[in-house]
Amino acid sequence: MTSWNRRVAAASRVRETDAEVSGERLAALGLPSGLHPDDATAVLGLLRIAEGRPGGFGSTILARVEDADGGPDRQVQIVVLGNERGATTLVGDAEDELVLDNLTGLPGRDYLLEMLEGAIQDTIDSDHSVAVYSIDIDRFKSVNDTRGFAAGDDALRFLATKLEDALRPDDILTRFGGDEFTIVCPDVLGVAEATALAERFRATCNDAGIDSPLNGLTVSIGVAIGGSDRNAEDLVREAETALYQAKGLGRDRCELFDDDLRTRAERRNTVDQRLRRALEDDAIQVHYQPIVDLQTERIVGCEALLRIVGEDGSHLNPRELVGAAEDSGLIRRIEETVLQRAAGAIRMLPDVGDDPMFVSVNISDRRVLDSRFPLTLARTLHNADLPAEQVYLELHPQILTQKGAGVRLVTQLRALGVCVVIDEYLGANNSELIDKNSIDLVKLDKRLVHGIHGDRGRTRAELVIGSITDRGVNICAVGVETQEDLQAVRELGCRYAQGYLFSPPIEGMRLAELVAAKV
């Protein structure tokens, strides 16, 4: 742990300082009262230089502090920081190291955690709390991509300055790296004050002028509140969780870490731990739901579905699993394991005509947009000894909105020989990618199938299905559960169907038996 004190000096206080170096004057600037007069004079001189310095100023000196009882002097480090707004001092033990961000001049994570622990201790026997704010520029990557890295740096420096302007005297601002800033606000009176401060911080970006580096940008903020019952790491993690929630709800907003979010975070942690354990124990399961050709009524393929058993013996929610795998960076290993398992299951199946059975596998959005995905897929197919033409990759319809990236991805995948499927399709205005030269199959969203029996739902389904089949692309109806569903999707021109009417997701051995029985 380091011993750096809080940010306490400001330009207005520097102006009030006269030539007399008194203990009260030093304390007002956040400096030790026993600071040696020569060193005090040097620090005050640096503060005057730093005040209003364009482009920023930073300097560190070793200073002597005289012992009040006549003992030996001790040494401290004093960091003087300044910019257009004013000047600041940070004081710490001589042997401790304070790492400052080169771009903004702000301290980092270690400093914040130490100051936060101190602020938490101050809440003991107090009715005040500590608030932590995790602040992130929305879509910051697009700034670097479209305006250049210099513009991105300007935006970060400008935001740091604006946030400093919005701080109260004892608040602490740090940069955690990237475009993420963290603020600690001690002595907060409950949720109302904490959320009001959050909106004030958010407004620093929204109120930027047209010539500002932040013009056109917004920030999202996660807020966590706690007292002596919490620790620094917990509050920072909770603020970051609330930040992710704000991002997920549309950005440009503040979200508070509350009991509901805590429950979801604990659930996500449980799923994450179970996922990691399943990978370590080779306990990943894959079940298969048959896909039926409605012209021949034979099973021609299947969808491979991830399954992991929870502590209570039931299967964990697949969407939770994928979300946890994406957040933890395990999604590549998961998808490779599913493909390996599916390859083994496909090889066990009997032949059903001229065309070999195919397996359809969901690919997460994050993996799809990774430029390395086609290369890793080729390696995975080679290791699995699975012919590419027997692999159907299911992509979310969102890929249709990524015009340039979408075209490149589909081109690369088809060059590998795999088939490309648009999954959970409800119809889209931006569907130029859907034609027989790029997309092999469209799987209807089950909501479209379930609503097909009403006049309005049937009309919508007719329009969606007709727009796809007119382009020579086959359609698979997903969620077929009744004979009425089957009859309706047949009438509307679907080539394939999948659903509980034919079979629920089953293990590989059971799939082989089912296929053999249908031959």
pLDDT digits (tens, 9 = 90+) for 214-229: 888 889 999 999 998 8
| Each residue's pLDDT tens digit, 108-139 | 888 888 889 888 988 888 888 999 999 999 88
- How far is 52 from 290, CA to CA, in rounded Å? 70
SS3 40: helix
Our CA angle for 29, 31, 36, nearest 5°, is 125
**Strand 74-82, strand 87-93: pairing:** antiparallel
End-to-end CA distance of the chain: 70
Name beta bridge partners: 107. Answer: 100
Q: For the chain, state the CA radius of gyration.
A: 30
- Total Cβ atoms within 10 A of residue 477: 29
Q: Is the pLDDT of residue 8 over 60?
A: no
Q: Which of 183, 187, 225 is nearest to 204 (CA)?
A: 183
What residue spans of 96-225 are helical by DSSP H?
109-121, 140-147, 149-166, 190-206
- pLDDT at res. 477: 97
Q: Which of 99, 80, 69 is nearest to 31 (CA)?
A: 80
- Total Cβ atoms within 10 A of residue 355: 12
Q: Is the pLDDT of residue 1 over 80?
A: no
- How far is 439 from 120, CA to CA, in rounded Å? 57
User: Which residues does 147 contact at the CB level (< 8 Å), separation at least 6?
Assistant: none
Ramachandran angles phi, psi of 136, nearest 5°: -140, 135
Give the range among 67-76, 179-188, 380-389, 469-478 with minimum mean pLDDT: 67-76
Residue entry with tokens 């960091």: 79
| Each residue's pLDDT tens digit, 254-280 | 999 988 888 887 888 888 888 888 888
Q: Which of 188, 261, 275 is nearest to 222 (CA)?
A: 261
What is the residue type of 193? E
Cα-based distances in Å from 294 to 38, 64, 414, 449, 494? 91, 87, 25, 15, 8
Domain 109-257, CATH class in plain words: alpha beta
| Each residue's pLDDT tens digit, 172-219 | 899 887 888 999 999 898 899 999 999 999 988 776 667 778 888 889
Total-model pTM = 0.64
The architecture in CATH of the region 281-518 reads Alpha-Beta Barrel (3.20)
Cβ–Cβ under 8 Å, residues 439 and 407: no
User: Same CATH topology for 109-257 and 281-518?
Assistant: no
Stated length of the chain = 519
Q: Which residue has the higher pLDDT, 417 or 170?
A: 417
Domain ranges of the chain: 11-93, 109-257, 281-518
